């Protein structure tokens, strides 16, 4: 069974973390370990995700308090197959880039780095300032995958859910988990055909 660690921080876009948890919960071969920051829990309600904190926690197999520095995922001896921080606040990105490890999300990311396991960040900020960009470049050079939730339009998204699903598909791909969570590029001919179908139904 694959073990995936998911950190949800206080950046806007909590639904991206929830959607990833939903997708992972559908895969019986995956065990999910979840940490939510205090502000992630606040955003869960503010951003009308449709989930309560209790419901979000129930999507994971194991849940930790973000202040629990004695948790299993705080140690490099805890073996897992990848960690995703989604969404990732710029404070969290900075903390990881400088090795601050001041909460469980940052500490789990720190040990993920030192053990050279996959670490994916979904930064949710706009515009980026120079500090943000330098921190992300530093982490990218360490092998961290920076996957901002930038929407694609070649697959003719019709709803916000379509945009979120596309980003979820990318995360699952980079975790090496087979999925058909969103439409994939099938070539120019297929794209033109899909466009004609959309126009026909419009």
Annotated binding-site positions for dimethylallyl phosphate: 154, 170
Beta strand 119-123 pairing with 83-88: parallel
**Cα–Cα dist 102/48, whole Å:** 28
Question: Can you tell me which residue has the tokens 């791909």?
Answer: 173
Binding site feature residues for FMN: 10-12, 37, 89-92, 124
Category of 116 on φ-ψ map: left (φ > 0), alpha (ψ -120 to 50) or beta: left
CB 76 within 8 A of CB 101: no
Alpha helices, H only, 50-187: 53-57, 90-98, 104-114, 130-141, 160-174
CB 122 within 8 A of CB 148: yes
Between the alpha carbon of residue 98 and those of residues 36, 89, 102, 106, 164, the distances in Å are: 21, 14, 11, 10, 30
**Cα–Cα dist 43/53, whole Å:** 10
CB 5 within 8 A of CB 76: no
Binding site feature residues: 10-12, 37, 89-92, 124, 154, 170
**Cα–Cα dist 10/176, whole Å:** 26
């Amino acid at each position: 069974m694959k073990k995936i660690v998911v950190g949800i921080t206080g950046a806007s876009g909590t639904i991206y973390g929830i959607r990833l948890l939903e997708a992972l919960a559908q895969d019986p071969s995956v065990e999910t370990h979840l940490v939510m920051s205090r502000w992630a829990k606040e955003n869960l309600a503010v951003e009308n995700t449709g989930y309560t904190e209790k419901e979000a926690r129930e999507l994971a197999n194991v849940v930790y308090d973000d202040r629990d520095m004695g948790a299993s995922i705080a140690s490099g001896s805890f073996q897992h197959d990848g960690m995703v921080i989604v969404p990732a606040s710029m404070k969290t990105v900075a903390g990881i880039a400088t090795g601050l490890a001041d909460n469980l999300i940052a500490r789990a990311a720190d040990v993920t780095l030192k053990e050279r396991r996959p670490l994916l960040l979904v930064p949710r900020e706009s515009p980026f300032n120079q500090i943000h960009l330098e921190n992300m470049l530093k982490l990218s050079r360490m092998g961290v995958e920076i996957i901002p939730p930038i929407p694609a339009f070649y697959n003719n998204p019709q709803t916000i859910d379509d945009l979120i699903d596309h980003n979820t598909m990318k995360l699952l791909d980079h975790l090496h988990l087979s999925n058909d969570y969103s439409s994939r590029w099938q070539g120019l001919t297929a794209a033109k055909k899909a466009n004609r179908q959309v126009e026909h139904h419009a």
